Structure 1
Amino acid sequence: MIIETGLWGGVSQPPCVLESFERAVGRQPGALAVSDPEHQLTYHELAAWIARIIGLLREASVGPGDTVAVTGPRSAAIVAAAWAVVGAGATYLPLDSNFPRKRLGYMLAESGAKVLLHTGPDPELPAPRRVSIPAWTEVERMAGAGLTFVPCTPDTPVYVIYTSGSTGNPKGVTLPHSCIDNMAHWQRHHSVRQDLRTAQFAPLNFDIWFQETLSTLGGGGSLVIMPEELRQDPIELLDWLARERIERLFLPCVALHMLATAATAFDSLANLALREINTAGEQLVCTPAIKEFFQRLPECALNNHYGQSESHTVSVHTLAGESSSWPALSPIGLPLPGCEILLDTAEPGDSQIGELLVAGSPLSLGYLGQPELNAQRYVQVARTAHGHTRAFRTGDLVSVENGVLHFLGRTDDEVKIRGYRVNPLEIEACLGRQPGVVEAVCVPVSMGAGSRQLRAAVTVAATAEFDAATALAALREELPWYSVPPSITVLPALPRTPSGKADRAAVARLLAPGNRSAVAADAGK
């Protein structure tokens, strides 16, 4: 039964992101807008580059209703191209050049992209027309036209982004201005300042790229593009953050954990200018390393964002007070302005736990060319107290405790052991507090005859001495008996999904009975 929770972010009337950028250009034309290893561009210069690309798109007869793909390494040129596509009234399609050509070709064909903008050599992908993004040096020499954007409406698409699909092909989801304008406006006003110097960390085809880029440049901040080689080197990343005086950072949870762990090697973090870190992507576990990191950065806030590709940011929880007192599992907090939270309470009489449904401003327009999937995930609901009749089924199981949302897992991964509901995230948080543990994953494993058993896997710091029996004893002191796995397996590394999350299905296969690759590392029986 779908019920209203009373969780409503309030009325939202955000300006169009294009208008916000135009105001920033007019207010501070000489301020630094974007930098990468090759460019240091002011707002006036970035606007000139955008205007030049818009001119090329108009020469290619691109306008409202068209889709334009953009590919190339993360750079100032890509930032200019993205603003140009949206400013021309078209829908922006980011393509990660590291993806297989067959996958990119599928995205281009299904989206109906009219033009492919690219940096560097011609990628020779199957687009009706390929156009090279002009270099800044070329734009700089020309007396270009002024910046003129096509007016937007709430339903005008901003971008289409592809996520993994169950059929083997990725599925495209289209986000309109009503969602993106709302997110960017909220982000500017939720941050400690609108003009923060912000790192551009997210890959081109991740929705967080838009949060970094649109909220920063719409608020008069400076967007600093992180060199790609730092993504897997948290020590060098910390040095870069200090040198560049980065104030705001958007990180997936796994990257935050890596950064906090790396920071333990530094005697002092006083050279960091960080004022806020925003994290998302999976359950935020406040490990001892993360708590210590923020204890050493008392002026830096930690915000836990919740959302999905189909809605972008839905809710936020700011961890306040002494980090040592933070909960192991961070809540996902309260909804953004314009967002209403509904619950599908599958179990009769339990009105505080259920599948989370999102209504209001965050909703996307739906999946491209998939009417059956749209009917399953974007459902009609009885008119809510705030006038919403359409909601998105997230597939996420949540609870409402004292008016605050808590993430419990996926509805299709709900775990019951001997009739008891078990939260693997709670077990992982307990394991993460054990000496030497770097990461922990707990998954249900089929034991045959319809029964399931909890299995846990951890990775351990190279210099640490990990004792599985001691860790299991600690779990027995904190958790009910049915939440304690019978053993813990130490793995050299956790398998990962393309987005960097722990691949739970792969872990479950590794820990399945009879898998000899895991037996040798098994401990604690």
Structure 2
Amino acid sequence: MASTTATLLDDDRRRLDTLLLSRWDADPAHPAVVDGDRVLTAGELRDRTVRVASLLRGRGVRPGDRVAVYLERSADFVIGVTGVVLAGAAQVAFDVNDPVARTLDMLADCEPRLLVTTPELRSRFPADLGVEVVTVAECAATEPAEPFEPAADLDEQPAVVIYTSGSTGRPKASLIPHRAVTTRLRALQRSHGLGPSDRMLHHTACSFDMFLIEVYWPLITGTTVVIAAPGRQRDADYLAETIRSAEISVFYCVVSLLELFLLARGPEERFDGLRRVLTGGEPLAPELVRRFHAQSTAPLTNLYGPSECTIYCTAWVPPRDPDLDTVYIGPAIEDTTLWILDEDGKPVPDGEPGELYIGGAGLALGYLNRPELTAERFVPDHLGDGTGPLYRSGDLVRTHPVGGLEFLGRVDLQVKIRGYRIELGEIESAALRVPGVRQAAAVAHGRGSDARLVGFLVLEADAVPEAVTAAVRRALRDALPSYMVPASFATLAAMPLTANGKLDRALLTEQAGEVLPATTAAVEARPPAGDDLAAVVTGVWCEVLGVPAIGPDDDFFDIGGDSFKVVRAVRKLEALLGVEVPMDLAFDEPTVTGFTAALAEHRVEGSAR
């Protein structure tokens, strides 16, 4: 296949900081950020951001440096990351919900010049952190030198550093320059045109590069950013209410969240207030597209692209076709080159599968402190004009005359769960550090929203399986984000091998279906007589999880629960109890004991009203 290339229109604004400043100066009275009851105008946001940038420069931050931001999703988070960019440094935003040990490892890896946080969040880290800390309050109190002058020559300097899972057990960080971010935002604006009358919801975790769409795209186009409350991004009821009450017109969510959102709200509910909806991060099923079109007049855009090519590199808008049988990832966006190559690095014929190589202005500079990995994944362009590298994506695709490209799967061990890119090797490396574990393997079972991780362990001869499995689960929860912790574990006498002696992952994937709890009811939930709320909750959870029994302190998510099962459990409880059950109770209190107490309190408060 010959490459597919789209052209970039003449525009020399390849710096994120100057795009932000020019937009804020153009309409300083316009609401830029809404965070609950707090509203920041563009002028106020500019002033607060310049204060952050001035403080950072005063502490020695220069272009090429990295500054870590460790804040809850909030207006202060937006001020923090944009302040770093204005200072000329690269923002490294860390999710405060990740295990502290993992965050410390990434801090040590990226060696930031400073860390922006709050005293409360700073207290999570050891006293000898080795990084100078500045607080949000210090930044707000800084008196900037006037006038503020942007740094020089930032086009090719990093603006953003994004960590993703690493196959060696060590997360890797993509260095994304200003020109890559601005290229992608211009492409989005030209195809999806935001304006001052739009409002976009920011709910995506900062560890996922799509959060750049929710923060920077609206900020450079005069659109208002509405910030979802921390911890509520998985709550479909909260999101639906926020979309309506805050008059959200543009919404991005990963495919699994879109499915959860529609499932939780029911097929009769409509979302015609949305003007545009974007999704991606996982394969998009035709049935989900049809369900979305049945509930909204908004067009749905399917975005594809690894973080190494900055947010996305292809896009496709599925037609409103009741007979739609395939959802494509689309053609190249502007200033992007795509090649589909065989194992020998030669272009494949049209319609034949091959590995996708990505080039163009959206490419990252490589990986931080990983020259060998950078050389392996960012390879010379031996087919085009040779002016820049190509990113070897590891994704299998083929061309299609209607939809541009069709995504077929992976060529390596990388999987996606709820839109997050996961290297199975990182899970396996963490499990192998637990005493008693001799071998470890992880696989993904299921597709789309049903995809779940399963861990397999071979133990030392004297190990106690139940104790070691529990220790592995605890270790992974302490070391990895929740989306990387397998839903179930199984112990084996030996790992299955292929004929050539390699781990037989295909066989493990088949066996994973037997390890996971059934997704349908294994027992019938019969609410007992009287008002034994704990028994009702236990019965419903057993039904939804497909298990015969649940202890009062067992964690819903540790025994196979996920966001979709929360929806089923909540709807079942509402039908049995005749009251509204807030969905976030299950996330806040995932044990029968805690959930029952919270639900009882909610019922009392409801009756008092």
Give the TM-score normalised by structure 2.
0.66
Separation in 1, partners of 2:2, 2:347: 14
Q: Is residue 336 of structure 2 the alignment partner of residue 339 of structure 1?
A: yes
Structural mapping, 1:139-150, within 5 Å: 145=146, 147-150=148-151
Which residues in structure 2 correspond to 1:114-193 (within 5 Å)?
A: 114-121=113-120, 123-124=122-123, 125=125, 126-134=129-137, 145=146, 147-193=148-194
Distance 1:203 1:345 in 2: 35
Task: Verify the 8 A CA contact 2:332 2:338 in the aligned structure 1.
Answer: yes
CA distance in 1: counterparts of 2:260 and 2:229, whole angstroms: 17
Residue 25 of structure 2 aligns with an amino acid whose one-letter code is G
Distance in 1 (CA, whole Å) between partners of 2:136 and 2:519 is 46
Counterpart of 1:10 in structure 2: which amino acid?
T
Cα distance change of structure 1 residues 278 and 151 upon mapping to structure 2, 3 Å threshold = farther
The corresponding residue for 2:275 is: 275
Q: Which of 436, 439, 452 is the matching residue for 2:450?
A: 439
SS in 2 for 1:19: helix
State whether residues 24 and 218 of structure 1, in contact with CA within 8 Å, keep that contact through their aligned partners in structure 2.
yes
Name the structure 2 match of 1:245.
247
Deviation, structure 1 residue 43: 0.1
* Pair 1:303–1:496, CA change in 2 (3 A): farther
Structure 1 partner of 2:39: 40
Give the aligned partner of residue 87 of structure 1.
86
Number of corresponding residues: 446
Query: In structure 2, how many angstroms separate the alpha carbons of the residues matched to 1:358 and 1:70?
Result: 30
Consecutive unaligned residues in structure 1, runs of 5 or more: 415-426, 433-437, 466-489, 502-525
C-alpha displacement at 1:242, in angstroms?
A: 0.7
The answer to whether the Cα contact below 8 Å between 2:70 and 2:121 also exists between their aligned partners in 1 is: no
For residue 379 of structure 1, what is the amino acid of its counterpart? V
Query: What amino acid maps onto 1:132 in structure 2?
Result: T
Per the alignment, residue 398 of structure 1 pairs with: 397
Q: CA deviation at 1:413?
A: 5.9
Give the whole-Å Cα distance in 2 for the aligned partners of 1:229 and 1:441.
Answer: 21
Provide the rounded CA distance (Å) in 1 between the counterparts of 2:97 and 2:65: 25
Match of 1:69 in 2: 68
Counterparts in 2 of 1:282 and 1:143: CA distance versus 1, 3 Å: closer
Aligned mates of 2:413, 2:56 — CA distance in 1:
45
Residue range with higher mean Cα deviation, 311-320 or 47-56? 311-320
Q: 1:461 to 1:324 in 2, by over 3 A?
A: farther
d(CA) in 1 for partners of 2:209, 2:321 = 28
CA distance in structure 2 between the aligned counterparts of 1:308 and 1:154, rounded to whole angstroms: 21
Deviation at 1:395, TM superposition (A): 0.5
| CA RMSD of superposed structures (Å) | 3.6
SS of structure 1 residue aligned to 2:176: strand
Q: Is the 8 A contact 1:341 1:357 kept in 2?
A: yes
Equivalent position of 1:207 in the other structure: 209
**Unaligned runs of at least 5 residues, structure 2:** 415-444, 457-494, 525-544, 548-555, 565-609
Deviation readout 1:476-515 (Å, 9 max, x if unpaired): xxxxxxxxxxxxxx97899999x999xxxxxxxxxxxxxx
Q: Deviations over 1:197-255 (max 9, x none)?
A: 10001112221111211111000000000113432221221111111110111111110
> What is aligned with 1:217?
219
Conserved in 2, the CA contact under 8 Å of 1:292 and 1:323?
no
Distance 2:497 2:169 in 1: 28
- For residues 28 and 277 of structure 1, do their structure 2 counterparts lie closer, same or farther at Cα, with a shift above 3 Å needed? same
Secondary structure at the residue paired with 1:277?
strand
Does residue 321 in structure 1 map to residue 319 in structure 2?
A: yes
1:38 Cα deviation after fit: 4.6
Deviation of 1:17 (Å): 2.2
Specify the SS of the correspondent of 2:258. Answer: helix
Q: How has the CA–CA distance of structure 1 residues 319 and 57 changed in structure 2, closer, same or farther, with 3 Å as cutoff?
A: same
TM-score (norm 1): 0.76
Does the 8 Å CA contact 2:339/2:358 hold for their aligned counterparts?
yes
Per the TM alignment, residue 110 of structure 1 is displaced from its structure 2 partner at its CA by 1.7
Partner of 1:360: 360
Aligned to 1:474: none
Give the Cα–Cα distance (whole angstroms) in 1 for the partners of residues 162 and 563 of structure 2. 18
Structure 1 CA distance, aligned partners of 2:78 and 2:103? 20
Cα gap change, 1:19 to 1:208, in 2 (>3 Å): same
1:105-159 Cα deviation digits (max 9, x unpaired): 22222212110011342515424310001289858xx798455422443311111
Structure-1 residue corresponding to 2:477: none
SS of corresponding position for 1:121: helix
Find the residue that maps to 1:230 and give its secondary structure. coil
Mapped contact 1:52–1:145 kept (Cα < 8 A): no
SS at match of 2:277: strand
Aligned to 2:484: none
Identify, as 1 or 2, the structure richer in helix.
Answer: 2
Q: Residue 314 of structure 1 contacts residue 339 of structure 1 at CA under 8 Å; is this kept in 2?
A: no
* Equivalence for 2:265: 263
1:491 and 1:151 map into 2 onto residues whose CA distance is: 60
**3-state SS of paired residue (1:158):** strand
